[in-house]
């Protein structure tokens, strides 16, 4: 018998669960794209996006996924032959580096593996060694969605300042924005990017590039930028079509409007605190399961973990079995292990991820914990006991929240 029927929880992580308010906002006839409400809609969305990124800089909207935002940022700022420095902590920084290679940009990757955060001292050394100041930017993932490592943008800003290096600091916040605390301006980030389908709770298809005056100056000095990616008309439009380089993504905008209303009604600080607390509830359960069992949390230090996704190991084959069990029997779809394959386990079947981003509350998290417990029991995967109680304790007494 399957107990999966009912409301599903997609925890893969991203696309994330879509709120009913977002779905309902999208369910309407096609509007006129030349005049009327769509114009006011876009004009209202742009400042509210900046409030999410905590910037007074610019926000360019693109009709594409996160890979498009990667390319958009690169296309505005760099020319073939330009050098960028990419500290990597898992999979996604390598993806951004690969996009750079496709544009003829030369990335220098410093790889910190899959279990620890970026060592900012090491980055400072590399920047100091660049005496001719050829490195144009330091590009990193705030959260690496595969490993669930959360890097500290402030440490990289400090490294750039200590080395007195003019390179831009560019953050991939696709998995972290509207989940983990982030202050683009206050933390000295020059360019940040995100997508619609994770913390922003909207279907995949929109992405965003935020940039400040330093980035603007680099763009202005760039002799050639592809028309479609150029962020100038998108941020200084004379007609509404210029925001999008063509037809507006009408229904995504309807959904995004609803999502931004939800986020700002709750308040960004409370959104971050909710994610931090619900993440702690999940980790409390995981720590119990891990005791005397097969489960291992990929990032051992809680201070270095994402509040939006948790990557776990469960022994060869078991991650995959658990995912299949929870989806088929309980309506919970967990994420695959990404970029975690080993020699013994080339397909990464021993790993899985819990997405806990966006439209998420305590009963969803406690439900997910209960379902994973049931799966571990049903599959007879060895695990420690008392996980549900520990998760419930966090929800019962969340205490003061440190992000």
Ligand X SMILES: *Cc1c(COP(=O)(O)O)cnc(C)c1O
Q: Whose Cβ is closer to ligand X: residue 228's or residue 241's?
A: 228
Task: Copy the structure tokens of residue 201.
Answer: 């709770």
Q: Whose Cβ is closer to ligand X: residue 92's or residue 272's?
A: 92
Q: Whose Cβ is closer to ligand X: residue 65's or residue 242's?
A: 65
CA 246 to each of CA 27, 160, 235, 271, 290: distance values in angstroms, whole numbers, following the listed order:
22, 38, 14, 33, 52
Q: Least distance in Å: CB of 374 to ligand X?
A: 28
Q: Whose Cβ is closer to ligand X: residue 174's or residue 281's?
A: 174
Residue ranges of E strands in 122-276: 135-141, 143-144, 149-150, 168-172, 191-195, 207-211
Q: Which residues of this chain interact with ligand X, rule CB under 6 A?
A: 14, 65-67, 92, 141, 145, 172, 174-175, 195, 204
Q: Whose Cβ is closer to ligand X: residue 175's or residue 262's?
A: 175
Measured between alpha carbons, how far apart are the two ends of the chain, in Å? 41
Task: Copy the structure tokens of residue 138.
Answer: 């330091």
Q: Whose Cβ is closer to ligand X: residue 143's or residue 391's?
A: 143
Q: Least distance in Å: CB of 139 to ligand X?
A: 11
Task: Copy the structure tokens of residue 217.
Answer: 């100056």
DSSP character for 305? Answer: B
Q: Least distance in Å: CB of 86 to ligand X?
A: 13
Please name the residue ranges forming H helices in 207-267: 213-220, 231-235, 250-266
Instruction: Give the 3-state secondary structure of residue 55.
Output: coil
Q: Whose Cβ is closer to ligand X: residue 141's or residue 212's?
A: 141
Q: Least distance in Å: CB of 300 to ligand X?
A: 21
What whole-number distance in Å separates Cα of residue 44 and Cα of residue 143?
28
Instruction: Give the 3-state secondary structure of residue 32.
Output: coil
CB 60 within 8 Å of CB 208? yes
- Cβ atoms within 10 Å, residue 235: 18
* Closest residue to ligand X: CB criterion: 66
Q: Least distance in Å: CB of 233 to ligand X?
A: 23
Torsion over CA of 48, 52, 55 and 57, rounded to 10 degrees?
-50
Q: Least distance in Å: CB of 329 to ligand X?
A: 27
Instruction: Give the 3-state secondary structure of residue 348.
Output: coil
Q: Whose Cβ is closer to ligand X: residue 175's or residue 215's?
A: 175
User: Which residue's structure tokens are 């397909």?
Assistant: 347
Q: Least distance in Å: CB of 129 to ligand X?
A: 28
Q: Least distance in Å: CB of 292 to ligand X?
A: 32
What whole-number distance in Å separates Cα of residue 18 and Cα of residue 312?
24
Q: Least distance in Å: CB of 143 to ligand X?
A: 6
User: Among 83, 80, 198, 64, which Cα is nearest to 141's?
Assistant: 198
- Main-chain phi, psi angles of 215, to 5 degrees: -70, -40
Q: Whose Cβ is closer to ligand X: residue 245's or residue 339's?
A: 339
């Amino acid at each position: 018998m399957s107990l999966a029927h009912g409301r599903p929880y997609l925890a893969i992580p991203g696309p994330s669960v879509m709120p009913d308010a977002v779905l309902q906002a999208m369910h309407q006839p096609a509007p006129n794209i030349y005049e009327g409400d769509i114009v006011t809609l876009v004009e209202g969305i742009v400042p509210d996006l900046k409030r999410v990124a905590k910037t007074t800089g610019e926000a360019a909207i693109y009709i594409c996924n996160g890979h498009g935002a990667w390319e958009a940022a690169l296309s505005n700022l760099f020319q073939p032959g330009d050098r960028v420095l990419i500290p990597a902590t898992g999979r996604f920084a390598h993806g951004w580096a690969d996009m750079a290679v496709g544009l003829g940009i030369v990335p220098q990757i410093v790889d910190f593996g899959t279990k620890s955060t970026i060592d900012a001292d090491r980055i400072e050394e590399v920047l100091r060694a660049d005496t001719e100041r050829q490195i144009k930017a330091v590009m990193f993932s705030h959260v690496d969605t595969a490993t669930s490592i959360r890097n500290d943008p402030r440490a990289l800003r400090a490294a750039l300042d200590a080395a007195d290096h003019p390179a831009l600091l560019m953050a991939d916040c696709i998995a972290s924005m509207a989940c983990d605390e982030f202050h683009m301006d206050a933390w000295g980030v020059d360019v940040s990017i995100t997508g619609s389908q994770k913390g922003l709770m909207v279907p995949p298809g929109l992405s965003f590039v935020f940039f400040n005056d330093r980035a603007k100056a680099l763009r202005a000095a760039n002799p050639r930028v592809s028309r479609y990616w150029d962020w100038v008309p998108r941020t200084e439009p004379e007609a509404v079509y210029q925001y999008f380089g063509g037809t507006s993504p009408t229904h995504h905008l309807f959904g995004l409007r609803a999502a931004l209303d939800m986020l700002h009604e709750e308040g960004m600080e409370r959104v971050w605190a909710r994610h931090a607390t619900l993440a702690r509830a999940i980790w409390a359960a995981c720590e119990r399961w891990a005791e005397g069992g097969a489960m291992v949390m990929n990032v051992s230090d809680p201070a270095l973990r994402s509040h939006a996704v948790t990557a776990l190991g469960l022994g060869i084959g078991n991650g995959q079995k658990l995912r299949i069990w929870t989806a088929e029997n309980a309506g919970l779809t967990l994420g695959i292990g990404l970029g975690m394959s080993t020699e013994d386990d080339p397909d990464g079947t021993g790993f899985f991820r819990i997405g806990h981003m966006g439209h998420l509350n305590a009963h969803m998290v406690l439900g997910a914990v209960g379902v994973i417990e049931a799966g571990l029991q049903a599959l007879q995967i060895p695990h420690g006991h008392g996980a549900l109680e520990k998760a419930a304790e966090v929800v019962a007494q969340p205490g003061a929240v440190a992000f």
